[in-house]
């Protein structure tokens, strides 16, 4: 008969530890991530829309009209 170690681990112990570590890392990242990205994205989107309007008026409006 085999002798079993007194400190034998459950087969899923490593998976549980890994999932806990990932959850802790994600929580810390969410807590310390910069919060101002939504405003920056909105500003960048507004600038892209304006650039698109200028480009359309120069290269597309002559054939497609000013209304699209």
pLDDT confidence of residue 1: 55
Given a contact cutoff of 8 angstroms between Cβ atoms, the answer to whether 57 and 66 are in contact is: yes
Alpha carbon distance 23, 37 (integer Å): 23
Q: How far is CA 40 from CA 29, 36, 55, in A?
A: 19, 7, 23
Map out the domains of the chain as residue ranges.
Answer: 40-68
pLDDT confidence of residue 4: 61
Q: How far is CA 19 from CA 22, 29, 31, 33, 52, in A?
A: 5, 15, 18, 21, 45
Mean pLDDT by groups of 10 residues along the chain of 68 residues: 68 94 96 74 89 93 85
pLDDT confidence of residue 27: 94
Alpha carbon distance 48, 56 (integer Å): 12
pLDDT confidence of residue 21: 98
Q: What is the pTM of this model?
A: 0.43
């Amino acid at each position: 008969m085999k002798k079993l170690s007194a400190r034998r681990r459950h087969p899923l112990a490593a998976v549980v530890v890994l999932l806990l570590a990932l959850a802790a890392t994600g929580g810390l990242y969410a807590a310390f991530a910069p919060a101002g990205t939504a405003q920056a994205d909105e500003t960048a989107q507004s600038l892209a829309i304006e650039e698109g309007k200028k480009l359309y008026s120069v290269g597309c409006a002559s054939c497609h009209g000013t209304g699209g």
